[in-house]
């Protein structure tokens, strides 16, 4: 790891916690993480004993965090690291059409927190906790009062905003809700002068195909690492 020489999107977790999401972080100069009730993501500034030691101190016994690395992680003293998958980072390569206003799309807030958590628990779009919605704008679609689809903004980096938690209730898939929500978010992100990006597991070919059709292109691939303290 040699983060200063890499593109800001090559270290999205560290970049977010160093810039626009600094208020949501825990940690110091060498290791940082999102607050546990926000997101499970963490990162270190370099592959050094000091950085890993600081990360160790941010984890409670039995607690797990997720890292995104360009290279596999070598065994780290005091920590157990397991690769759980490969993530593709995709970036919007073109602007979304201006005609993406959708009157059925609602802005979600803390008042919708339980409904958002329930939908994410059902559909499993990725890590989602009770306070995850505090990372940015979250939008959704309701039918007869029930939240049936949502999407939101997770990591905020200077110049870039991540689209995340794109999910649709099992009984309402195939109706184009995900496309509508992603396009609305992209329009809002681009109106603020930023570029939208997202992460998707490499084995989720259906989602990758959808995002490609929406104008996202593969930029980078990451090892998704689960890390926790060694027992004892």
Residues 65-82: tens digit of each pLDDT: 999 999 998 878 899 999
Rg (CA), the chain: 18
CB of 182 closer than 8 Å to CB of 166: yes
Structure tokens at 61: 């016994």
Residue 226, judged by CB atoms within 10 A of its CB (0-12, 13-18, 19+), counts as middle
pTM, full prediction: 0.93
Closest CA to 47 of 70, 25, 28, 65: 70
Span 188-207, pLDDT tens digits: 999 999 999 999 999 999 99
Q: 67: which strand partners?
A: 225
Nearest-angstrom CA–CA distance, 182 and 141: 12
Do the Cβ atoms of 15 and 8 come closer than 8 Å?
A: yes
- The residues with which 200 forms a beta bridge, in sequence order, are 88
* % of the chain residues with pLDDT over 90: 89
Domains and CATH numbers, the chain: 3-88+222-229 (3.40.630.30), 91-218 (3.40.630.30)
DSSP strand pairing (64-69 vs 216-229): antiparallel
């Amino acid at each position: 790891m040699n983060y200063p020489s890499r593109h800001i999107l090559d270290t999205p977790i560290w970049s977010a916690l160093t810039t626009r999401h600094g208020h949501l972080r825990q940690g110091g100069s060498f290791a940082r993480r999102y607050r546990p009730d926000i997101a499970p993501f963490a990162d270190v500034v370099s592959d050094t004993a000091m950085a890993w030691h600081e990360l160790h101190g941010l984890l409670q016994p039995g607690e797990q965090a997720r890292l995104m690395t360009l290279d596999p992680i070598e065994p780290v003293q005091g920590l157990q690291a397991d690769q759980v998958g490969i993530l593709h980072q995709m970036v919007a390569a073109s602007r979304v059409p201006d005609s993406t206003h959708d009157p059925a799309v609602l802005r979600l807030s803390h008042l919708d927190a339980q409904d958002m958590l329930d939908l994410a628990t059902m559909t499993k779009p990725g890590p989602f906790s009770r306070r995850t919605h505090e990372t940015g704008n979250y939008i959704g679609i309701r039918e007869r009062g029930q939240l049936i689809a949502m999407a939101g903004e997770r990591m905020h980096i200077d110049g870039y905003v991540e689209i995340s938690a794109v999910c649709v209730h099992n009984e309402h898939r195939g109706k184009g809700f995900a496309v509508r929500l992603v396009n609305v978010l992209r329009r809002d992100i681009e109106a603020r002068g930023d570029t939208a990006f997202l992460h998707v597991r490499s084995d989720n070919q259906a989602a990758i195909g959808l995002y490609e059709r929406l104008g996202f292109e593969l930029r980078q691939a990451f090892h998704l690492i689960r890390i926790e303290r060694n027992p004892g």
